[in-house]
Structure 1
Amino acid sequence: MTIHMSVMISAEEIHAKVKELGAKIDAHYAHSDKELVLIGLLRGSVIFMADLCRTISKPHELDFMTVSSYGGGTTSTRDVKILKDLDGEIRGKDVLIIEDIIDSGNTLSKVLEILSTRNPHSIELCTLISKPSRREIELDVKFLGFEVEDKFIVGYGLDFDQKYRHIPFIGEIGL
């Protein structure tokens, strides 16, 4: 199979946006006396989260979850399963969920429901990419990188069949 790819968002644009988001996150949590926990939703968020956490000066913890709503298929079943839960406690802490991309919002809304039952002080969302035209459930995204059209994209953590996450830019692919 031949893959054709064009650059949608350059590595330089991503780097500048990550720095901007880090500054906004620092400003938002500057006066909070609560511990800050960044929760990455694996696997796609790991590259974005690694870069983002180095731009945030407020001390913070990192934790991860793996959730699935696809059940082996290519379309969401809306039945979210936790495959890997948090290692730490979030009760009374400021929680910032880090996501690579938000499409329909279904999986992330379930994650928010689950984490809310654990009594954090606050929960906010940060995503690198949002596809608003695909949204089925509206979410309050406090920290947003880029809004894009409904294109098939890879790179900077986003994958196609577990490939292309390593690419330093966001590219649109055609098969």
Structure 2
Amino acid sequence: MKTISIENDIIVYYDKRVGKVIDGQAVVDPRFEGNELNEFFNKQSNIQGVKWMEGMFDQLASDSKDNCEKQALKNCRVWQLHPDADIRMKFFGYDEVCRRFGPPDPANYQQVYDGAVETNNLEALYTKFNIDHPLGYSGHSLSVSDVLELYDEFGSTFYFVDHCGFKQMDFEPTEQSITQGPTMQF
């Protein structure tokens, strides 16, 4: 029995689906981090790096192995205003923020979560980040002015948390903003 393998870009560790290979990078749940996996990845010529991402095991476990038609789950980042941002921005909906301050500026935001989530449904994510904060979440409960980013290897989609629902918008944080905020990489 093979203890570690890669099958159709899914990383299998002792018969458990613990991660996947995306664009030459192994994205693996950190609860399985250890010498055995690290040595395995070092020997793989098609793996250029490893990213440890909370929730990856749960995401893969919830995916049906037989359901190829199922919509692929995206990863999620949560962006919240920096503590030194104008406090009034924290209470206005999207239209009012745009009217008073211009479109939401990524420079005013910090990343407070980056990880795998079990749904792409915005309402379910709103509930998740208000009632059952995932491990590694360092922000306040999700509220007006926060930004949800759903992303995969094809790109990102950003949603402003409005007074009622969400407003899809353009919001492109710099690579530096993404790495400066708290992340789930270990």
Range into which the TM-score falls when normalised by the shorter chain: under 0.3
Higher relative contact order (Cα pairs below 8 Å, separated by 6+ residues): 1
Max radius of gyration: which structure?
2
